[in-house]
Amino acid sequence: METDGLIIWKKVLNYLKENENSSYINTFFSDKASYMHEFYNNTLFIKCENPFVLEHIKQNIKKINSIIKNELNINNVTVQPILEDSEIKKIINPPVKNSDNILAKYTFDSFVIGNSNKFAHAVCVSVAEHPSFEVTKDAHNPLFLYGGVGLGKTHLMHAIANRLKEKNSNYKIAYVTSEKFTNELINSIKEKNNEEFRKKYRSLDVLLIDDIQFIEGKEATQEEFFHTFNELHSNNKQIIISSDRPPQELITLEDRLRSRFESGVPIDIQAPDFETRVAILKKKCEIDQRDISDDVLILIAKNIKSNIRELEGSLNKVWSYSKIMQTPITYDMATEVLKDMLKNKETKELTIDYIKQVVAKEFNIKIDDLSSKARPKNIAYPRQIAMYIARELTDLSLPKIGEEFGGRDHTTVMHACDKIKDDIEKKTDKIDIKIDKIIAILKD
């Protein structure tokens, strides 16, 4: 006998078959791709055979729910795609959340070491083995990790926490993003339980706070974190912080906080080199038990240079395509699947020289004028625009941008960025349109 859930799902499939082509149905909604697994609490749990199908149904969830409600006239029933049976159990019987937010999968053993991160790794291992409250001198406290997105900062932070928990399960450890810290602070103020919030963070043995750059400009958060930092540091508790840039470049952060970050151990993590990227992909295949040839891994590693998340995402895309299309993973297949990504990587890398060239042409001035000491408005303003665009479209630091524009100070670059940003918001002299045009040319 068919259940209510199965009847509803069959109606959805019939509607899709009438309105979509057969190739689309076979790829995403055939019995081999997805099927109704369980109906619980007015939710249709649709089991997907691979991440490719799962992601597609997630992206079209509003459309499917709309079909159920508006086309089939069935109210209060929604679809939830899943990959594993365990996901249903988590929804029906949600586990008690680990209050420290530490992810067990991130360990030192699963971290791939290369030239770009070996010093950071060594220092993090040292902190895990000898946290500040266990040593009398040479403590790395605070430990400040900085670098671009997806380079392993978060992985190392969790690895430290996991190693410390192995040593002593009684250590009070908490990992939190700066955004979560801010939201908890706001809620504590709203609910008038500030003391409970303070006790939570100021009684820790180890505090790990990720993406600290997001508290820039948030005065109340900075004030609270300043006192939390002082309380922990004065009691010799371990503090570990991450950011997308070094402390001295957190320009809008209060001086007293920035100076405390600088007083510890700032450690830079760079993008992985080619050999490390290949090693990361091999480690990923080993963990996920995937058999992929070296030529495919080398193809991905040669073309994805920016960060580890994008690197692993490309590998997952190839793997998912292989499963859904039931085709072996070969060099030619990977090239075809990743062709859009490979095409993007072949485009011209955006440099300061190219930005200068396009801006100078747009404002009918000489390229050298942008680096000169000349200060007439017809030169100074385009120079500010070029600095703003460099900050928005490249990973260069403020001091480096200043250096590229005639050795100017980083505060000059910051002022230029703030001014142009303000002019864009106010649409001064339609500058927003002109800058959009310049950016379009640069990205073309």
| Overall number of domains in the chain | 4
344 within 8 A of 72, measured Cβ to Cβ: no
Among candidate residues 222, 232, 131, the one with its CA nearest the CA of residue 178: 222
Residue 349: what pLDDT? 62
**How far is the C-alpha of 181 from the C-alpha of 167, rounded, in Å?**
26
Let me know whether 257 and 281 are in one domain. no
Which residue carries 């795609």 as its tokens? 81
pLDDT at 96 over 50: no
The residue-averaged pLDDT of 76-83 equals 88
Residue 410: what pLDDT? 87
Residue 340: what pLDDT? 76
Residue 313 assigned ligand-binding role:
no
Residue 367: what pLDDT? 92
DSSP 8-state assignment for residue 94: P
**How far is the C-alpha of 164 from the C-alpha of 117, rounded, in Å?**
21
DSSP 8-state assignment for residue 68: I
User: CATH number of the domain that 32 lies in?
Assistant: 3.30.300.180
What pLDDT digit, counting tens, does each position of 147-183 carry?
A: 888 899 999 999 999 999 999 988 999 999 998 999 9
Range of the domain at 424: 352-443
DSSP 8-state assignment for residue 444: -
Residue 152 assigned ligand-binding role:
yes
Q: Which of 92, 127, 143 marks a domain boundary?
A: 92
- Strand 43-48 versus strand 34-40 pairing type: antiparallel
User: CATH number of the domain that 429 lies in?
Assistant: 1.10.1750.10
Q: Would 174 be classed as within a structural domain?
A: yes
Among candidate residues 65, 69, 66, 90, the one with its CA nearest the CA of residue 79: 65
Residue 154 assigned ligand-binding role:
yes
Q: Would 284 be classed as within a structural domain?
A: yes
Q: Would 102 be classed as within a structural domain?
A: no
Contact residues for 342 (Cβ-Cβ < 8 A; gap 6+): 303, 335
What pLDDT digit, counting tens, does each position of 2-43 carry?
A: 557 888 899 999 999 888 888 888 888 888 888 888 888 788
Among candidate residues 78, 85, 101, the one with its CA nearest the CA of residue 179: 101
Let me know whether 262 and 279 are in one domain. no
Residue 229: what pLDDT? 92
Q: Would 135 be classed as within a structural domain?
A: yes
Among candidate residues 161, 58, 45, 29, the one with its CA nearest the CA of residue 92: 45
Tally of CB atoms within 10 A around 333: 16
User: CATH number of the domain that 209 lies in?
Assistant: 3.40.50.300
What pLDDT digit, counting tens, does each position of 270-317 carry?
A: 888 888 899 999 988 888 888 888 999 988 988 887 788 888 888 988
Residue 52: what pLDDT? 86
pLDDT at 352 over 60: yes
DSSP 8-state assignment for residue 84: S
**How far is the C-alpha of 133 from the C-alpha of 233, rounded, in Å?**
10
Among candidate residues 266, 263, 293, the one with its CA nearest the CA of residue 281: 293
What pLDDT digit, counting tens, does each position of 185-235 carry?
A: 998 888 888 888 999 999 999 999 999 988 888 888 899 999 999 999 999
Backbone φ, ψ for residue 174 (5° rounding)? -145, 135
Let me know whether 112 and 235 are in one domain. yes
Give this prediction's pTM.
Answer: 0.58
Q: Would 98 be classed as within a structural domain?
A: no
Let me know whether 359 and 325 are in one domain. no
Residue 98: what pLDDT? 47
Average pLDDT of every residue of the chain: 86
SS3 (DSSP) at 277 = helix
Tell me the two tokens of residue 12. Answer: 């959805």
Let me know whether 155 and 252 are in one domain. yes
Tell me the two tokens of residue 325. Answer: 């299309």
The residue-averaged pLDDT of 130-139 equals 81
Let me know whether 332 and 373 are in one domain. no
Would the CA dihedral through 119, 225, 164, 150 be positive or negative?
negative
Let me know whether 313 and 189 are in one domain. no
Q: Would 378 be classed as within a structural domain?
A: yes
**How far is the C-alpha of 389 from the C-alpha of 417, rounded, in Å?**
8
Q: Which of 268, 285, 301 marks a domain boundary?
A: 268
pLDDT at 97 over 70: no
Let me know whether 156 and 258 are in one domain. yes
Q: Would 399 be classed as within a structural domain?
A: yes
Which residue carries 């997630």 as its tokens? 58
Let me know whether 306 and 237 are in one domain. no
Q: Which of 268, 302, 326 marks a domain boundary?
A: 268
Q: Would 433 be classed as within a structural domain?
A: yes
Residue 357: what pLDDT? 92
Peptide bond into 131 cis (omega under 30): no
SS3 (DSSP) at 81 = strand
**How far is the C-alpha of 424 from the C-alpha of 431, rounded, in Å?**
6
Let me know whether 252 and 294 are in one domain. no
**How far is the C-alpha of 345 from the C-alpha of 347, rounded, in Å?**
5
20 within 8 A of 27, measured Cβ to Cβ: no
Let me know whether 247 and 159 are in one domain. yes
**How far is the C-alpha of 121 from the C-alpha of 51, rounded, in Å?**
31
Let me know whether 281 and 261 are in one domain. no
DSSP 8-state assignment for residue 271: P
Residue 79, burial from CB neighbour count under 10 angstroms (0-12, 13-18, 19+): buried
Q: Strands of 143-146's sheet, edge to edge?
A: 173-177, 206-210, 238-243, 143-146, 265-268
Tell me the two tokens of residue 437. Answer: 């045009």
Residue 204: what pLDDT? 92
